[in-house]
Amino acid sequence: MARRSLLVGFGGFLPDRVVTNDELAARLETSDEWIKTRTGITRRHIAGPQDTATSMGAAAARKALEYAGLTAADIDAVIVGTSTPDQAFPATAVRIQAELGMAQGFAFDIAAACSGFIFALATADSFIRSGQARNVLVIGSEVYSRIVDWSDRGTCVLFGDGAGAVVLSGTDEAGKAGLLSTHLHSDGTAGDLLYVDGAVGRRDMSGHLKMSGRDVFRHAVAKLSSSVDEALEAEGLSYSDVSWLVPHQANIRIIEGVGKKLGLPPERVVVTVDRHANTSAASIPLALDEAVRDGRIKKGDLVLMEALGGGLTWGSALARL
C-alpha cells in the first residue's frame, strides 16, 4: 500500500478588525450594493499593526496542531503559501517555525498567489509520499491589505486578511481516507492579468496589486471548470461523488458557477467570501477549518478544492476526510 497523506488538523485565524462595505463606501466611490451583487462580499477582516503573515500563520498552525492532537515537536516540515511575507527572507515558514519553537525539520514558502494553498498541499503530499516527511504543516497566510491600492475601487474592495492551516500526516495503513490527487497548472504568458507591481527586488515600482478583473474572471470560469473535471477523471469519480466543494473564495459568481457545473446544491458549497472577502492563499484552509469545526464536513466526505490566482496559477486537490 502506497503511503498517503491524511488531513488530520485544521486551524484558522482572522484579525479582529472587521471592515464593512459601507465603511469603504464612506471613503471610495463604491457602494454596498455594487460590491455585494458583483462579488458576494459584505465585509472583510483587516490586519492590525501587530498582525503579519507570520503571526497569523502561527496562530492558525497552533489551532491545527491542537485539533490533530500533535505538538510542534511532531512536525517535520512547514510549507507556507503567501504573497505577502514579512521579509524577503527568512521565509514566513521559517519565522513560523521559530514562533512554534521548532529547530527541527525544514520550512519554506511557496509563491503561487491565490493558488498558494493548493500548491503547498501538493508539495507537502509529495514529501509525505516519498517518505521525506511524516507530519507537515501546510499554511496559507496573507495580508493583502498591505499590497492593495486603497484608492483603487476596482481591487481594494475585493480582499481581506487571514490565515488557515492544515496538518497532513502520512499513513501506510490501508484505507480510503486522505489526499487522493492534486493537479497544478500555470501559464506565465498570462502573468500581466493579475500581479503586484514590484517587491523588494524592484523598489522602483509601486508594490500594488493590479488586476484585469474581467479577463481573470473569464480565465477562472474556464480553468476551474476544467480543473474539477481533471481531478475527478483522474480518480474515476463523477460529479455526484463530491460531498463538498471548498473553493478559493474570490467571487461568489465564480464559486456558484463551479458548484452548478458539479450539480451540487448551494448548501454543499462552503462559502466564506461573504464574510472574509478574498484572502488569497488563506481562503481554502480558512473555509475548510470553518466547515470541519461546525460539523458540516464529516469523516468519509469527498472534498474537492480548487483555486486560480496570479501567474496565472490554478489547480485542484481532491481529498477524502
Q: Which residues are catalytic?
A: 114, 248, 278
Question: How close are the terminal C-alpha atoms of the chain, in Å?
Answer: 18
List the one residue out of 298, 304, 6, 266 whose CA is nearest residue 129: 6
Q: How many chain residues interact with ligand UT7 (CB under 6 A)?
A: 21
Would you tell me how many other CB atoms lie within 10 Å of the CB of residue 26? Answer: 9
The yes or no reply on residue 154 touching ligand UT7 (CB under 6 A) is yes
Cα–Cα distance between 83 and 159 in angstroms, integer? Answer: 13
Q: Which three cell numbers stand for residue 154?
A: 476596482
Q: Which three cell numbers stand for residue 20?
A: 464593512
Residue with cell 461523488: 241
The yes or no reply on residue 44 touching ligand UT7 (CB under 6 A) is no
Give SS3 for 70: coil
Which secondary-structure segment (H or E) carries 93? helix 92-99
Which of 39, 83, 272, 316 is in the footprint of ligand UT7 by CB under 6 A? 39
Determine the interface stretch with ligand UT7 among 66-74, 154-162, 172-180, 184-192 (rule: CB under 6 A): 154-162
Identify which of residues 210 and 296 has a Cβ nearer to ligand UT7 in the complex: 210
List the one residue out of 140, 251, 249, 149 whose CA is nearest residue 196: 149
Identify which of residues 170 and 311 has a Cβ nearer to ligand UT7 in the complex: 311
The yes or no reply on residue 250 touching ligand UT7 (CB under 6 A) is yes
Q: Please state, in angstroms and as integers, the Cα–Cα distance from residue 210 to each residue in 193, 196, 222, 315, following that order.
A: 8, 6, 21, 22
Residue window 196-235: x/- pattern of binding to ligand UT7, with contact defined by CB under 6 A: -----------------xx-xx--x---------------
Identify which of residues 37 and 71 has a Cβ nearer to ligand UT7 in the complex: 37
The yes or no reply on residue 168 touching ligand UT7 (CB under 6 A) is no
The yes or no reply on residue 176 touching ligand UT7 (CB under 6 A) is no
Instruction: Establish whether the linkage from the previous residue to 312 is cis, with ω within 30° of 0.
Output: yes
Identify which of residues 90 and 213 has a Cβ nearer to ligand UT7 in the complex: 213
The yes or no reply on residue 251 touching ligand UT7 (CB under 6 A) is yes
Q: Which three cell numbers stand for residue 131?
A: 517518505
Q: Which of residues 262-281 bind ligand UT7 (CB under 6 A)?
A: 278
Contact 306, 247 (CB under 8 A): yes
Determine the interface stretch with ligand UT7 among 67-75, 126-134, 174-182, 250-258 (rule: CB under 6 A): 250-258
The residue ranges that bind ligand UT7 (CB under 6 A) are 30, 34-35, 38-39, 114, 153-154, 157-158, 213-214, 216-217, 220, 250-251, 254, 278, 308-309
